Chain A
Amino acid sequence: MIMGNLKRTMKRFALVPRNIKGFLAKDYTLLFRKRKYFYLSIMLPLIIGLIYIFTLTGDGSGLSVKACDYDNTSLTAGVLQGMEGFKVKVDSGEGCTERLRNEIINGKYIFGILVEEGFTEKIENLQQSEITVFYDNSDPSIAGLSSWRIDAALSPFRRELVKSLAMELKDKSGDAREKTTLALEILRLNHGTVFDRLEQSVASADADLRRIENIDPEYLALPIVSENRGVHKDFQIIDVGMSPLFSVLSLFLVLMLCSTGVIYDRKMRLFSRIRSSSSSMLSYIAAKLVFFFTVVIVQFAVVLVVFMGFGARYSFHPVLLLKALVFIASVNALLGFLIGVVSDSEGVAVLISLIITLPLLFLSGLFYPLKLMPVFVQWAAKIMPLQTEILMMNKAMLFGGSINNHYFWIPAALLVVCMYLLKKV
């Protein structure tokens, strides 16, 4: 009996490779047959990878920036033209700073550089110099990026300055050594009138050594510092963080909630009930839109309380806010609705939601400025709803202005597609 069981167990072990082969064959077959496997393992990494490459490399043509060069020397010209990865347009005219600020606010540039008068003189005197970087502080992705992009661009020039200083130090200390050696030789010989020569030599060495003594330690560490200054004077970084965060959160949550809700309704055959009843699918969708509008309002209130609790301040524009929330709720709910209609199960709905939201996140401008990406990616982002949602929220809470009604073609088109697909389900 024991031997028999042992034999069977051994036999089972021998079958393990065949079992594994069977499982593998099943999984590889499903990889191409089941769309979720295909999208998640092949398409999504491809899409995210491509977008991420754009965030790392930009469009490769160099970023256009404007510089106000009030020092206007050959050194500053060299520094500005030698900035890696930038196409610098130099302006030395009066009122340049204000013009630059307005051009950044209007979206012409995302960065600007200000070189104050006396920059070259400080460098020549081995004193730490400063340049100011202006950036659009209504876009949180630019704030962090501006300083490292400028620092990275200035680093070759910094390296050059430190190298020339080191060479100078080497030369001067060599000179001083020669002079002190001569003085020592003369003193050792101790004959002839040599005091005049000795005084000259020691005085020269003293001057060299004093120059070395006066070196600014900060200069050696960092010969040029850059200071970041937002062009919108009234905003703190926390103020501008809410619009993108709320839009992304809302997209994620409403997509998941609405799509799984629709699957739930489909599973309990509610669509059959609706079609055979005196109500209609349009009233079902309308109810969903109203429901998710209230969900979005609650989400907005929660995020707002958190941000204001940490000191964020907003100037609300009620009509714009209502318009923005209606747009966000309707677009996200209808997208969720579409996912719910085309998915077979709640699991698939969640997966599709992820497949849609991840690329949208990268193309939202939340982590990396879209203006640094290739033009076709910028166009793709423009027709994606998330960027529009962020723009609307910014207008509603920070800038004011108006929200163009033509944006509402997006929910209208989605509604038409939903109604069409519902006929097929």
Chain B
Amino acid sequence: MVVALVAEKIRGFIYKIQSFFHKNKHPLYARKVRFSYNGSEVLKNLNLSVKTSQIVAVVGKSGSGKSTFLNLVAGVLTSSFKGKVLVMGRQRGFAKEDIGYVPQEIALVPDMTIEENLAFFGRINGISRKSALNAGRKLMSIMQLKVPLGRYPTRLSGGQRVRLNIIVSILHNPKIIILDEPFVGLDYKNRKLLWHFLEHQRNRRRTIILTTHMLTEAEHRADRIVLLHNGRIFAKGNIGDIREKLKTMYVVEYKFKYLSKGQEASIRKYCADHEILVLDMFNNYMMFSITSEGQKNYLSKFFEKQKLEFREMGFREPNLDEIFLGVGA
């Protein structure tokens, strides 16, 4: 027991020394990351490497560990964890100048003007007031935030505040930008603007890692999607990779005229026997995840055999939202 503990400490020390000298080519390199909080394991053996100039969307249900993972990478979580997290090839403690962390909540000083906020957040990130104001003005112009610098954040609209929240986080021109749920509460126009901004940063060889529940947008805009479930990476890659991994090639929806408890049970049994996932169900509506068109035909025949009156609502490739429904189902 003691030997194992000492061995682990020595391993951790060696990791630290290695990472101090070792230049890893990945902006983010996480290996065998485990993190427990209050006795429950939030992150379980998580491995992830992110390349330069990528937008990576970390998605997952609430409590899947995505915010915890981002907070761990950004250094917001100071509790000890197991495994290895390298940012720009260094231990995260030595790479803070390279990280721009945007918290989920608006983290601005409400009683200070925009100008004072820019200067303050610039200074805590190690840059002078002058540099912070210059960078802030540039970023405000890119983000189309046309408000006087003397205005207080409390007098900005929700979308403007989110944009300012991001601006103050990246005044020091970090190489890796971490955003925790940046799209929450934003309308479509502001979301689109934010995606454009992130793409602009990607084109400047910045790496962006974000968590989001806007799966459809992430599917189209992000270079890579990492699907977390119960603290593990369930799937990663582009949407095709994830569909394949989860065997959700198509979704089919049915509306039944009437569905008794017994009929529902027999459908569920059929699905379980034939590796079909019931993605969603409400009253007489059901959505299934299937791997081929043939599987859909078998399903329809089964309904007819059960003397169920039904109407097919749709048959298509699933989007990320629909894939997401099948995770853990």
Contact = CB atoms under 8 A, between A and B. Distances in A.
Asked if chains A and B come from one complex, the reply is yes
A268 B126 contact: no
Nearest to A287: B124
B108 interface: yes
Contacts of A193: none
A277 B74 CA distance: 9
B175 to A, nearest CB: 13
Contact of A277 (B106, B109, B125): B125
A279 interface: yes
A278 B76 contact: no
A319 interface: no
A61 to B, nearest CB: 51
B101 interface: yes
Interface string B91-120: 000001101010101111110000000000
B96 A273 contact: no
Interface string A275-287: 1111100000000
B96 A277 contact: yes
Contacts of B76: 272, 275-276
B75 interface: yes
A326 to B, nearest CB: 25
B125 A423 contact: no
Contacts of A276: 74-76, 96, 99, 101, 178
Contacts of A270: 107, 109
B78 interface: yes
Given A268-B110, A278-B96, A423-B79, A273 B126 contact: no
Given A268-B109, A268-B110, A278-B96, A273 B79 contact: no
The residue among B79, B97, B107, B121 with the most chain A CB atoms within 10 A of its own CB is B107
B124 A279 contact: yes
B124 A277 contact: yes
Contacts of A277: 96, 101, 124-126
B interface bracket (residues with beta carbon within 8 Å of A):
20 to 34
Contacts of A268: 106-110
A275 B125 contact: no
A274 interface: yes
A423 B110 CA distance: 25
Contacts of A272: 71, 74, 76, 101, 103, 107
A275 B78 contact: yes
Contacts of B169: 273
Interface string B173-204: 00000100000000000000000000000000
B15 to A, nearest CB: 21
Given A268-B110, A279-B124, A279-B126, A423 B78 contact: yes
Contact of B105 (A269, A275, A278, A279): A269
Contact of A279 (B108, B110, B125): B125
Nearest to A425: B78
A269 B110 CA distance: 12
B97 A278 contact: yes
Contact of B121 (A273, A275, A423): A273
B71 to A, nearest CB: 8
A273 B103 contact: yes
A348 B223 CA distance: 46
A273 B106 CA distance: 11
Contacts of B74: 272, 275-276
Nearest to A281: B78
A269 B79 contact: no
Nearest to B74: A276
A273 B76 CA distance: 8
A243 to B, nearest CB: 35
The residue among B71, B76, B169 with the most chain A CB atoms within 10 A of its own CB is B76
Contacts of B125: 277-279
A269 B109 CA distance: 9
Interface string B284-320: 0000000000000000000000000000000000000
B132 to A, nearest CB: 12
A117 B110 CA distance: 75
Nearest to B96: A278
B164 to A, nearest CB: 13
B75 A275 contact: yes
Nearest to A268: B107
A273 B96 CA distance: 11
A268 to B, nearest CB: 5
A275 B169 CA distance: 12
B107 A273 contact: yes
A282 to B, nearest CB: 13
The residue among B75, B110, B121, B124 with the most chain A CB atoms within 10 A of its own CB is B124
Nearest to A276: B101
Nearest to A271: B76
B27 to A, nearest CB: 15
A241 to B, nearest CB: 36
A82 to B, nearest CB: 67
Contacts of B110: 268
Given A270-B107, A272-B103, A272-B107, A278 B126 contact: yes
Contacts of A278: 96-97, 124-126, 172
A275 B101 CA distance: 10
A145 to B, nearest CB: 47
A273 B124 CA distance: 9
A269 B121 CA distance: 12
Contacts of A274: 124
18 contacts: A268-B106, A268-B107, A268-B108, A268-B110, A270-B107, A272-B71, A272-B74, A272-B101, A273-B101, A273-B103, A276-B75, A276-B178, A277-B125, A278-B97, A278-B125, A279-B124, A423-B78, A423-B79
Interface of B: 71, 74-76, 78-79, 96-97, 99, 101, 103, 105-110, 121, 124-126, 169, 172, 178
Task: Give the top 5 A-B pairs by smallest Cβ distance, nearest first.
Answer: A276-B101, A269-B107, A276-B74, A279-B124, A278-B96
Given A276-B99, A278-B126, A278-B172, 20 more contacts: A268-B106, A268-B107, A268-B110, A270-B107, A272-B71, A272-B74, A273-B103, A273-B107, A273-B124, A274-B124, A275-B74, A275-B78, A276-B75, A276-B76, A276-B96, A277-B101, A277-B124, A277-B126, A278-B96, A279-B125
